[in-house]
Structure 1
Amino acid sequence: MQASGFLPGVTGLFDDQTSPDAILLSHAHLDHTGLLDRTSTDIPVYATVGTSKMALAGALFANQVAIPRERFRKLVPEQPVVIGDFTVTPFSVDHSIFDCVALLIEAGGKRILYSGDLRLHGRKPGMHRRLVEVLRDRPIDLMLMEGTHFGLPDGKRTTEYDLENAIVDEVSKASGIVFASFSPQHVDRLVGFIRAAKRTGRIFVPDLYAAFVLHLVGSQLAVPVPGRDNDLRVYFPNSMMESAERKGISQKFTDLFEKCRIEIDEIVSTPEKFLMVFRPSMFPDFTMGFPENSSCIFSSWEGYLERPEWKSLIDPARKNPLHLIPLHTSGHILSQDIVRLVNAIAPQRLVPVHTFEPHEFQRQFSNVILPQDGEKMTLS
């Protein structure tokens, strides 16, 4: 697979040659973890507890990759860990998934900062300010900086708080059920929908996936937890229960959430009472079709709407199509904020990562290096 280019050509990462000392994960999104199950099983995986939890939830509900328990090594923000000749210190950053970190890597008197995926317009702007503050006395020799938004329009600067208020406005105007479509691993967005339900007098109904995420993070965050807090009801989608039964884990979810379970009949009998997590695979559960005046707040990248399952649900030609309301803000740092953050950290050298427009960095900064895959770099 390495010869075909499917797997990166990193010696020892996927083959039986001498393995690296560690794999460092900044967060649990699939573009960062997707090849983890192909890596050599003797390599320890360093990540935050929250990243491990999100990887587990993704593996159970979204065909993603969990971190094997025996390989997991815990990273705690701002607590250095020594790995071979390197000292690694994680720093919390705000992104569209729970418990993300940037990574400071020190060895031989040199410092590399990997930004991870991050943004400055989320619910926790203090995180990037803390990062800049801590690094003020630690000059960075090389920074690996994500640049997703370079080459894309920033659009209106919408924070998660702005988005919550917009959700409240839409839910307040709705006369029927309001569905919410988003990634449950985006805990800040999940909290925003829960708060919107509370502010509009509705009952928030997570599906099993979202309920399990709340269960996992409830020991780390002050969030409502289904089964412990009375404000939530949990819907058990047929497709998720069938999958759980195939995996032999359906009883786990029944035990966790049975006492707050809600059935589809109760939902459709009084749809105006609910703000409910939704995904297209749940549509067959509504055997009589969507309740009248149903709407769906779509809070993800709009490119997903080109998928056939979404196109069929919002097709104006169908009987009672789902009324879609796109409301979203990016999980990635905006172009203007890339410039702000890099200038604040002031690395000696800068390498773009996670971008389709690496040359845009050269237009913005004078210290950019564009190495090729596999090219070795020496910090002198």
Structure 2
Amino acid sequence: MKPHLSRRDLVKAASAALAVGAAPLAQSAEAARRFEPRPEGWRAFEVTTTVQLREAAGESVVWLPVPSVETSWQRTGDVSWSGNARDVRLAADGKTGAKVLVARFAPGTPDPRLVLTNRIETQNRAVDWKAPAPAPADPADLRHWLEPSELISTDGIVRKVARQIVLGARNDREKAQRIYDWIIVSTYREPKVRGCGAGDIKAMLESGNLSGKCADINALFVGLCRAAGVPARDIYGIRLVPSAFGYRELGANPASLKGAQHCRAEVYLKEHGWVAMDPADVTKVMRQETAEWIKDAGHPVVAPVRKGLFGAWEGNWMGYNSASDVKLPGAKQGKLGFFMYPQAETAAGARDPYDPDTFAYQITAREIAS
């Protein structure tokens, strides 16, 4: 485990991050790999979520995330469902627009069951750094993506660290690059964290414990960008199939997507529009791609991913939404920091979304003809 990081350590790390891009590749027995996602056409998938509540006392309610992302890299298709619920409806969170399938089961329903099927099309995504500037975005929308959420704060220590990292940066792209590099050299993936992590970035910086998973690490990236004046957001989703580039940790087994949830990030750059980012996946490759924990960001296994995920990502993943502080319709529990896992409540209380076998649910994906 890394030692506790003081605020002085954070400043030092911010300075060290600036040199990462120029670091020479480490000598290693591991051969250099390729990771260059580029748009190559659409792929179509059928994604099925099956919920079978166990020991469901009293009335039960299930909430499932439904893709609400429509972009140049994702197109959502038909949504269908079946099961033995008393009432099923497709709803949307009024504030964030996140789509949710809500199913209510009457008391005494034997083996409450819900099956949700989404059809989706995805493709690889990559920014063309030489392309002309896109049409300007809605200023009100950009202001929204500078605002804090309950977990992604932008003041206090978050603002202080952001300013240290981007000091002297000439434009937003350079700010984003510095923050991206700082995240890679200052944080690390902790496999023991449950689910995708909590995402409380203020607590991470104040404690100096900069470990976590994607909802922690990419949230920290997004929060630091916002605090530095760069619009940014997380997109919460799930991996669907293996990576075409041979990286085990950047793909999933379509026959069983338990634990395949993953959030990615975007930043808005005036000259390029919304640009793909994913520093959390760089830290995942560093920690879990090989038998040994790679601690050199210039390692030949890591370097292609570090370069590629600043501006691109692979289309083997489906985005649900960019929502934060989500209030599920009719839920007894409070707001969710993010919504990419199935949720359920029975008379006994809320089910644990990070424990799919007890919950119980299964998610699968199947590639189909587009």
Query: What range describes the TM-score normalised by the shorter chain of this pair?
Result: under 0.3
Q: TM-score, normalised by structure 2?
A: 0.27
Q: Relative contact order (alpha carbons < 8 A, sep ≥ 6): 1 or 2 greater?
A: 2
> Higher helix proportion, which one?
1
